[in-house]
A and B are shown apart, each in its own frame.
Chain A
């Protein structure tokens, strides 16, 4: 299994531009999570899906952020328009249903907004 795959690994964009981060979960995992990691706030859960349906988006910072999961093998996190304070590492993670397990994380996308 290739694990959770995120792309791109690094993204540098100018303020005001649209940014799309991508994630492919592990096949068979029913849950998908988006986290953001910053020095100040640590790891914050943004949103998570179960069977492609958003379950809890209470961590999404504002309307500039949106996430979709059109099918079981793909999810996107979009920021439009981006701002310098959005600079962070964004992680995608997945988990299978029914397990007493932690998540399997992707390698993360380091986003820099200049």
Chain B
């Protein structure tokens, strides 16, 4: 069975600085999708960025980018120029190409220090 591990329960970063959230996963499959979701205090789950495993190029969405290392089964999220609105819980997630279920990590709570 696939698992997703986020080893950092909490992190803090100074406003305008860059922070990287770690995620590792375990799978025997070669085709899959990876996601980062953001959950602010409003509890709405918001898709931040996604990556298809067959693509070598790392996905980027404005200030958010990923470092996808397929061999290492690592999928970290980098947030550049951190803003107060980035404060939230961030979840790494995995979905098999053959399956419709998304498996979530336990999350990393990100604090932005003014």
Contact surface of A with B, Cβ cutoff 8 Å? 31, 33, 42-43, 45, 48, 50, 55-56, 89, 91, 93, 95, 100-105, 107-108, 110
Contacts and interface: CB of A to CB of B under 8 A. Distances in A.
Interface stretch (B20-28, B62-70, B77-85, B100-108): B100-108
Given A45-B101, A102-B95, A91 B45 contact: yes
Contacts of B101: 33, 45, 48, 56
Interface residues of B, number: 22
B91 A43 contact: yes
A93 B103 CA distance: 13
A100 B43 contact: no
* Majority secondary structure, A binding face: strand
B93 to A, nearest CB: 7
Contacts of A110: 43
Contacts, number: 50
B47 A42 contact: no
A31 B44 contact: no
A100 B101 CA distance: 12
Contacts of A48: 100-101
B54 to A, nearest CB: 10
Contacts of A95: 100
Given A48-B100, A102-B47, A102-B50, A107 B106 contact: no
Given A102-B37, A105-B45, A107-B42, A42 B50 contact: no
Contact of B44 (A43, A101, A103, A105): A105
